[in-house]
Structure 1
């Protein structure tokens, strides 16, 4: 499945555009796609090999990050991350190894958690009025995209429901790093 790259926006809007692209060009594949919000309770998630990273390892500490997964069969899962310097897309094993590495080298405040949402559910339910892109005085931190904010009939803004990692609240399922790998990486036998 070929997915068209989108220019840098907020990562959740990039992923929304990717999911819309799948619906319009490959509608039978959307049930094999997932949106994954990565965050934690302290909103400090280290990710390596990110374009915004300054050091040799391209490490960035995000408050949250969003990626798109295409999981067409048990042995195959591709990750689409427009903020990564890895190939677009990247197989899940390579992405996990180079982007997340391991929790064993981190303090617990930096452990990454993954809210996994079926892409078709994300397209129906997610909303963002872009308030998180504004300063306290109402001015934009950076200019917003030239298309309307993502809205639904139920909500103008529910981004926080997706970022928070309480397993008893919000859409989809929250997994730790080990659970995430076990769910999406099945080596060929």
Structure 2
């Protein structure tokens, strides 16, 4: 058993009067379609809302992008080199913030364990912005899972070529739409802090938001 697995096992103990367990014990049982990370995470939110709705307020959706749409992430399954580096236009992950000191990251596209503790995930996936050109700095739009379920929509237009054919095959279920919108994906990918849902953080502030260090 790895250190990460042992720590996760320790979550299955009484704390604050309740049992705390990883939300999705088996990654293989989660809905997943390659190149549709926003919908994969929407499905994770939906699963929590059905199975353990009392935990939904502890869950967050994080869009990772920047104005140039060039964000380097390591340890990604799509990466071809040894360090599994990929430069995405955007990526989306799911966070389960159990308390001020414990946060789990669920990334269905990562080679890291599912889930991985926040600090380990950040260290291995984002590393640091200090050695990167500004065009590659990562920004993070953090949205509550409940809000994301209620308001996110995508008609998958971004995955179609001009002739209407698919760049990548879509998920087998209908497109996610609401009564107010059929497509607002760009509002989430946009990293303008003054517009859009949730809050936008740089890498340093994002880490401080979910990883508290005892002093």
Aligned residues: 189
Deviation at 1:105, TM superposition (A): 1.1
Matched, 1:2 2:28: no
Question: Do 1:8 and 1:82's aligned partners in 2 also have CA atoms closer than 8 Å?
Answer: no
Question: Do 2:33 and 2:171's aligned partners in 1 also have CA atoms closer than 8 Å?
Answer: no
Q: What CA deviation, in whole Å up to 9, does each residue of 1:155-185 have, x standing for no partner?
A: 0000000001001110000000000000001
SS in 2 for 1:104: coil
Deviation at 1:8, TM superposition (A): 2.7
Stretches of 4+ aligned residues off by more than 4 angstroms: none
Gaps of 5+ in 2: 1-21
- Structure with the bigger RCO (C-alpha within 8 Å, sep 6+) is 1
In the alignment, the residues of structure 2 paired with residue 167 and residue 188 of structure 1 have an alpha-carbon distance, to the nearest angstrom, of 29
| TM-score normalised by length of structure 1 | 0.97
SS in 2 for 1:160: helix
Q: What CA deviation, in whole Å up to 9, does each residue of 1:22-74 have, x standing for no partner?
A: 00000000000000000000000000000000111100000000000000111
RMSD (Å), alpha carbons: 1.0
2:120 corresponds to which residue?
94
What are the within-5 Å matches in structure 2 for residues 40-189 of structure 1? 40-187=66-213
Gaps of 5+ in 1: none
In the alignment, the residues of structure 2 paired with residue 172 and residue 7 of structure 1 have an alpha-carbon distance, to the nearest angstrom, of 24
Question: Do 2:77 and 2:110's aligned partners in 1 also have CA atoms closer than 8 Å?
Answer: yes
